[in-house]
Structure 1
Amino acid sequence: MGKTVVVVGATGKQGGAAAAHLLRGGWHVRAVTRNAQSPAAAALTAAGAEVVVADMDDPASLGRAFAGAHGVFSVQPAPHDPGAPMGYSTEVEVRWGRNVADAAAAAGVAHLVYASLVEAEQRTGVPSFDSKWEVERHIRSLGLPTTVLRPVTFMDGLVLSKDVLDGSFTHVLDPDTRYQLIGVDDIGAFASLVFAAPEEYVGRSLTIAGDERTPREVATVLGRALGHPVAYHQIPMDLIRRHDPGLASVFDAPPATKADVAALRVAHPGLMTFEAWLSRHGRAKLAGL
């Protein structure tokens, strides 16, 4: 295609996945980072991206990065992300998301793709959800041609604890409650797909998932991947409410719209189930625990 798409957050998980798929799709990728000397930035350069230095707290630097671009992929860290900078908060997330949108509008880009969250379709009272809702509301006020991606729970976030290696998977949901999952790599795949078909996706919000499982099923699949049984252990919600009211509020939020996984798989036939994600990405993550 040859047109330039600027990827903000390119050294992070979602931005990195978007950059990789856009490069494979033939786009010229301009990868934005605050540190061009980082290993992640070097890997982007080696993959064929143009790495530029800009800061989401510096609108002038964003304007320079967006100059002449066809599109912008925008994602901001969540406050709990390991890579979030010191002092980062939901207020900073909102400011950064607005700054990116303002710079994209000023640069006259033809398509902004914003990586939001499935729960951000309405105000929920949960700060980490409502920050993305605030960014979406600001984007709409600009009249910028936009597609909002709404990923569900990340498969990548299910394998965080060494307890899994010892045969224990924990969550707060009832063992047979069904919830949807998405591999981060597939978020990048949908970003590339959306940029390639603006006539279909501009003006839309797209909830994306690749699988739907219960916690008990997740434990079973993890056990098969590890070669030994993994049992599911539910954390009582009363315990969460006492020790982490913020986390409890996440599970008290209004239910979000579910993704139509079958329709998404028609658009993206490579969409990963949880088993497929474990086979391609999860084993390395398990080995690193």
Structure 2
Amino acid sequence: MTTVFVTSATGSQGSALCNELRNLGWNVRATTRDLNSPVAQSLLSAGVHLTLGNWDDEDSLRKGLEGSNKLFLCLLPSLTDFDQAPRRAALIARVAREVGVNHVVSSTTLGSFLVEPGFVPSIRLGPFFDAHVRSKKRVEQAAIDGGFAHWTVLRPGFFMANFVEPKIQFGYIETKEGSWTNSLTAESPLGLVDHLDIARFAVAAFQDPTTYHGRKLGVISEELQVQDAMDQLADAIGDGRSIKAIFMTDEEIAREQAKGSWLFFSSEPCLRHLSGYTDLDELQRLVPGLMTFKDFLIREKEAVRVTYLSLIDVHPTPL
């Protein structure tokens, strides 16, 4: 029986993958720091085997990984310690191999292409964003160098869920005020991805390790110009408002970079070039029926209502 150990199982990608795998009848294992959280309880109800632990504790990791033969490696970065995620990834990969895992799928970020050798055009990244992306790249490397028979790296684009609770709290709350300031241009395509599609690509890689082995795959669900995305978001809110895309000049971006801003979409002109690292036609061939932003907003209409129409103060929760 195939058994997959899923890191970040209570996050958006991890929980979506857990449900996809359980729908296939596969065994799913994970660790959590809180077995009583609503997401953990939902996963338990779906048949996910959860153990109490964290990614710095080798004993709890080994207990959680025992019996697994596949691994989904997805770690959120610490914005105060960029060595944390790579350190944890190396530990998870080592323990996973020791218990018999032979196949890994790692999910990181589309920005990893920006620090690949030979990136063209050569653009200097802001120091904060550079550290963030290189941390993600080191997580990938832990999977690649882990000694697994098969590995795949998924590099997701901009999350559709960034525009609704709870992710909106982490840098995108300006859309509630009717605008979104960003470092793209009016012509730049924005590669949007649905976290459920990321889970579908992970499942595809797990089911067909030969086809996906050794690939670093940029993953998006749809490409839109920024103002088109803002118009669709405003339409989904449905109260007559408009949301204006505000495109920063190079001088404004330079000032933000000088501040060391962690708000990447308002400080990194290199993001204008990421569309060159995705092939939507190929992605549709590999996993047909990818989510459009319009359909995502319909599916998440309750989250849209809570985010933009509710008077309740929703506080961010860690993902």
TM-score (norm 1): 0.87
Letter aligned with residue 181 of structure 1: L
Aligned partner (choices 123, 141, 157) of residue 162 of structure 2: 157
Answer yes or no: is the 8 Å Cα contact 2:237–2:305 preserved in 1: no
RMSD: 2.3
For residues 101-116 of structure 1, what are the structure 2 equivalents within 5 Å? 101-116=93-108
1:84 matched to which residue of 2?
A: none
* Structure 1 residues 127-180: Cα deviation after superposition (integer angstroms, max 9, x where no partner): 111012112223333321211111111111134255534533332322221121
Q: Does residue 1:185 correspond to 2:190, yes or no?
A: no
* Structure 1 residues 163-207: Cα deviation after superposition (integer angstroms, max 9, x where no partner): 534533332322221121101111111111211111211222221
Q: Does residue 1:173 correspond to 2:184, yes or no?
A: yes
For residues 5-20 of structure 1, what are the structure 2 equivalents within 5 Å? 5-20=4-19
Number of aligned positions between the proteins: 280
Aligned partner (choices 230, 234, 241) of residue 243 of structure 2: 230
The whole-number CA distance in structure 1 between the counterparts of 2:286 and 2:193 is 15
SS at match of 2:277: coil
The whole-number CA distance in structure 1 between the counterparts of 2:272 and 2:246 is 24
The whole-number CA distance in structure 2 between the counterparts of 1:238 and 1:40 is 40
Letter aligned with residue 49 of structure 2: E
The whole-number CA distance in structure 2 between the counterparts of 1:162 and 1:30 is 34
Tell me, which stretches of 5 or more residues in structure 1 are unaligned? 81-87
Answer yes or no: is the 8 Å Cα contact 1:165–1:226 preserved in 2: no
1:147 matched to which residue of 2?
A: 152
Answer yes or no: is the 8 Å Cα contact 2:30–2:65 preserved in 1: no
Aligned partner (choices 236, 259, 262) of residue 278 of structure 2: 259
Q: Does residue 1:98 correspond to 2:117, yes or no?
A: no
1:50 matched to which residue of 2?
A: 49
Letter aligned with residue 222 of structure 1: L
Answer yes or no: is the 8 Å Cα contact 1:210–1:273 preserved in 2: yes
Q: Once structures 1 and 2 are overlaid, which stretch shifts more, 165-174 or 30-39? A: 165-174
TM-score (norm 2): 0.80
Answer yes or no: is the 8 Å Cα contact 1:176–1:216 preserved in 2: no
Superposed displacement of residue 233, structure 1: 2.3
Tell me, which stretches of 5 or more residues in structure 2 are unaligned? 117-124, 308-319
The whole-number CA distance in structure 2 between the counterparts of 1:79 and 1:253 is 21
Superposed displacement of residue 242, structure 1: 4.4
